[in-house]
Amino acid sequence: MPTLTMLAGEINDAHQEVQRHAKGMLLEAKRAGEALLAVKKEIPHGQFKAWVEANCSVSYDTAKEYMRVAKGCVT
């Protein structure tokens, strides 16, 4: 049976991994958001949503969240 000290170590190790993955997730969301913002500048007004739906494997709502991350507007 694990001791409390061993369990604390496991908890702390797991927490560090969560933090590492969260940072990586945010970096990838920012990368996607930056690309989406670049596309949005190139596409005629009013056609961005249709472009995302036709060309991307993410929903339009997710695309908007990625762009918010890229702009630094995450709450």
Mean local confidence (pLDDT), 41-46: 97
pLDDT in tens, 18-43: 999 999 999 999 999 999 999 999 99
Of the pLDDT bands very low, low, confident and very high (cuts 50, 70, 90), residue 73 is confident
Rounded distance, CA 27 to CA 39, Å? 19
- The boundaries of the domain holding residue 32 are 4-71
Q: What local confidence, expressed as pLDDT, does residue 64 receive?
A: 98
pLDDT in tens, 48-65: 999 999 999 999 999 999
**3-class secondary-structure state, position 33:** helix
Q: Structure pTM?
A: 0.80
Domain count, the chain: 1
Three-point CA angle 21, 60, 74, nearest 5°:
45
Q: What local confidence, expressed as pLDDT, does residue 68 receive?
A: 96
Q: First and final CA of the chain: distance in angstroms?
A: 41
